[in-house]
Structure 1
């Protein structure tokens, strides 16, 4: 079987050290994020949270300093090119990373090596939906940082890629009016995807049931902007016990996506905004058939007391199949349940350069999943659904 070149809907970018010096207006730079290289001490991941100390004599690590806080880059988030046994939890500098982590031309070369035509990249230092800026004290500077990041994303990271690097922008989560403005500002220049929290109440933000986010959902619908929600965009990962090893969180990583999907399906948001598109990133898909079965059962059997009788005129699964996209990279169970997952709803990702990434073996891993499927379905999974979701029709046009 010849595998179509992949359009990956979930990869990641390590921000270059010059980002804010170049793109943040000069009047904010002394209060904005500052890159530094310094030693790191202990680095651990427990209870779904990273904990670290500094050590002048420790291994050199690249950091961001912002409002007195420190953010270190870790090998697990820049693991591309390392042998599996060396993908350990320790600090890392950009010079130790594969250059494709942070340099656009090198990324395109790695994409060619990995059978990938186009890639949508989530942020790292701002965190998956811009929590770093949402938590900042000085919101004037934070807003400037969001805009600077988006300008860098559109003009520098994606600008010379010939459409192969697909822009994914932040919104100022702390103010829905500013979020609406930022969606509009970026939509004018062709951006069709923004990040959002899978569970905003975990960030101290209003819930999707409150009506607060309706202007944001409306503008995303009107501009054909996809609302992308990455696992961990609630600033927490499922942890069965506070002292559980990181392997427990890694196993349960789909859990927040499942909770978020149920939240949206019963919120009425997808009824009010029937052209709004949601995308769940890195959540895999094998869990979806039962989640939909249970949601439909609850709608039929429990809607009289369940608070949704007047919200949903049709079973929840109707709205999922119409408006929601999932993605996978290692999920053979999801493939065997593809008719229930939705052949038009599933997309593919490589997760470059994270520890979970299939790089540089993505073509082989994908073929192991799709071998035996018909060519039309393989095209949908590897690129067609992503192209439709993100409005990337130029990728399927014949070369002039």
Structure 2
């Protein structure tokens, strides 16, 4: 076995410059798209509105001034940039699409469902081209739930195009919640084709009353929405379990990405307690026939970006076979440019075994999403990091190099659960 690690990031973002989606849109939507381009609607993600100035300058230098941002829309440049950090595979999420398709909650400008669906399909056509002939890059299809029958069609299209996953919206816009029977054809289709449903952090967030609120400083709004960023994305977890979706669709697989990992310890403990001991009507067990933790073990995985070292300490409770590393390129909270140091600050501070490290950094994602490890191995052999490189803990004085301190984020410990 090669001593170089095959690292697959389960969290990266791609997008075209907005105007360049035009050829991918059906012609009947071109007029509305031209109106969009000429409007002041928020069509792309702009982190510089909320970043601390020092962090913003560092992000600008690392991603923009270096030219790495070209990997946002140039697949060959993307693979080259990933290789610089020892990453040889990546699952892709959208990062700016026509008509806010796939947008994350409050950051979205809302459009009619027909336009959002058109934007989603334009993105899906483009990302199919972006990943064609690139075994390192794994496409996900944006699903829109305004019309479940159309979403089902997109599930089958994604399978035909070789996509690796389905990017799910949250429960917002007044649409039915995920306990509603109207979604049964969608769950069945995803189960049939074998593509997992992926919920990214931020999905389902409310609009908080608008982007600018009288009397509420922008930094206050940003901090509170950021604090709740993960919770809203967790919600489908208990909806899909308590409503019996995972019982009825035993082959359906779910991923929760960029919303930390350790939350499942407490949530599962509470859900299992409720299942075993609740004073509520016990007939729920006719719908949910086993403890929630069993559905988790059978059908749920965690895209652990960006994780803390404490999450690795509690990895046995989360599941070492569930956790998948994510670099979150090209976002400012991501590890690009400091992936080696980030892994030293997390993995290097634990007693993870070689097998656990290999599974967390690439093996779990390869199996879950279906990456071709034989095709990726040559790049790993030439550009991959080694176990010895990341096992050396990052000295305390050098932790300043990390863009953010999620590596040091407080987490649930085993003693907290006793």
**Where on the TM-score scale, by shorter chain, does this alignment land: which range?**
0.7 to 0.9
| Cα RMSD for the two superposed structures | 3.5
**Quick one: distance in 2 between partners of 1:179 and 1:185?**
10
Match of 2:272 among 284, 296, 302: 296
Moved more, 168-177 or 386-395: 386-395
Residues 34 and 65, structure 1, Cα contact 8 Å, conserved in 2:
yes
Work out whether 1:373 is the aligned partner of 2:344: no
**Quick one: distance in 1 between partners of 2:139 and 2:363?**
18
Aligned to 1:116: 87
Work out whether 1:166 is the aligned partner of 2:138: yes
**Quick one: distance in 2 between partners of 1:111 and 1:344?**
24
Residues 25 and 144, structure 1, Cα contact 8 Å, conserved in 2:
yes
SS at match of 2:256: strand
**Quick one: distance in 1 between partners of 2:50 and 2:216?**
26
TM-score (norm 1): 0.79
**Residue 129 of structure 1: CA displacement?**
2.6
**More helix, by proportion:** 2
SS at match of 2:151: helix
Residue correspondence of structure 1 range 107-186 to structure 2 within 5 A: 107-126=78-97, 127=100, 129=102, 135-137=110-112, 139=114, 141-155=115-129, 157-160=130-133, 162-186=134-158
**Quick one: distance in 1 between partners of 2:277 and 2:227?**
31
| Cα deviations by residue, 1:209-233 (Å, 9 ceiling, x for unpaired) | 1111111111111111110111112
Structure 2: any 5+ residue segments left out of the alignment? 210-214, 379-418
Residues 5 and 382, structure 1, Cα contact 8 Å, conserved in 2:
yes
Residues 168 and 195, structure 1, Cα contact 8 Å, conserved in 2:
yes
**Number of residue pairs the alignment of both structures matches:** 361
SS at match of 2:153: helix
**Residue 85 of structure 1: CA displacement?**
4.8
SS at match of 1:259: helix
**Quick one: distance in 2 between partners of 1:316 and 1:256?**
19
Residues 78 and 355, structure 1, Cα contact 8 Å, conserved in 2:
no
**Residue 30 of structure 1: CA displacement?**
2.0
SS at match of 2:43: strand
Taking structure 1 as reference, are residues 276 and 238 closer, same or farther at Cα in structure 2, changes over 3 Å only? farther
Taking structure 1 as reference, are residues 88 and 190 closer, same or farther at Cα in structure 2, changes over 3 Å only? closer
TM-score (norm 2): 0.76
Residues 71 and 77, structure 2, Cα contact 8 Å, conserved in 1:
yes
Match of 2:46 among 66, 74, 78: 74
**Residue 191 of structure 1: CA displacement?**
1.3
Residues 11 and 122, structure 1, Cα contact 8 Å, conserved in 2:
yes
**Quick one: distance in 2 between partners of 1:356 and 1:315?**
35
**Quick one: distance in 2 between partners of 1:341 and 1:228?**
18
Q: Which has the higher contact order (CA 8 A, sep 6+)?
A: 2
**Quick one: distance in 2 between partners of 1:260 and 1:242?**
30
**Residue 93 of structure 1: CA displacement?**
9.4
Residues 301 and 322, structure 2, Cα contact 8 Å, conserved in 1:
yes
Taking structure 1 as reference, are residues 128 and 25 closer, same or farther at Cα in structure 2, changes over 3 Å only? closer
Work out whether 1:86 is the aligned partner of 2:79: no
**Quick one: distance in 1 between partners of 2:136 and 2:365?**
13
SS at match of 1:10: strand
Taking structure 1 as reference, are residues 230 and 306 closer, same or farther at Cα in structure 2, changes over 3 Å only? farther
Aligned to 1:9: 10
**More strand, by proportion:** 1
**Quick one: distance in 2 between partners of 1:343 and 1:77?**
37
Residues 238 and 256, structure 1, Cα contact 8 Å, conserved in 2:
no
**Quick one: distance in 1 between partners of 2:272 and 2:341?**
36
Residues 203 and 232, structure 2, Cα contact 8 Å, conserved in 1:
no
SS at match of 1:129: coil
Residues 76 and 354, structure 1, Cα contact 8 Å, conserved in 2:
no
Match of 1:337 among 270, 295, 314: 314
Aligned to 2:392: none
**Quick one: distance in 2 between partners of 1:164 and 1:120?**
9
Residue correspondence of structure 1 range 357-396 to structure 2 within 5 A: 357-371=334-348, 372-395=351-374
**Residue 349 of structure 1: CA displacement?**
0.5
| Cα deviations by residue, 1:121-177 (Å, 9 ceiling, x for unpaired) | 2112235735799943372x544332221110101x2124x2111111112321000
